[in-house]
Amino acid sequence: MRIGIANDHRAYAVKERLKNLLDNYEIIDYGCYSDERIDYPKFALTLSDAVINKEVDLGIVMCGTGIGVSIACNKVKGIRCAKIDNKAEAKSAKEHNDANVLAFSAQSHSAEEIKEMIEIFINSTFLSDPCYKIRIKQVENYEETNEY
């Protein structure tokens, strides 16, 4: 599995540790590459494009809170970015929403905690209940139809 990872300056140290912990996966780092202050949208949007273009199978984004990067990613058509704060949300993000990008707060979670949540997500399966597929389709088609 190829995992893309992107971050802002506040998540740089956590990202570097997380990359080492995810040694069972091929990791592609989309930046940023230091703790020097940067604007997160560039990195979150570059990662989102990589997910859409199937350069990676899963995207991971991090910033101080995880909120900014998740908002940026969800601006890209076809991205379903879930901000994850616990193991139950990691499981539901896959089972109910078939998320393709996960966002994390680097100030609230250690690299070890984030790795655990990523593993739970990866080892979960999107549920085949039609209601989940319908909901995803409603969200994805809203921009084109302005209907739910």
Residue ranges and CATH numbers for the domains of the chain are 2-145 (3.40.1400.10)
Which is the catalytic residue, given 32, 63, 73, 81?
63
Say which residue, 60 or 138, is predicted with more confidence: 60
Give the per-residue pLDDT at 142. Answer: 72
Whether 32 is a known active-site residue: answer no
What pLDDT band is residue 139 in, cutting at 50, 70 and 90?
confident
Question: Which pLDDT belongs to residue 143?
Answer: 67
> What pTM was computed for the model?
0.94
In the predicted model, what is the mean pLDDT of residues 16-26? 98
The answer to whether residue 9 is catalytic is no
- Write down the residue that tokens 């992107």 correspond to: 6
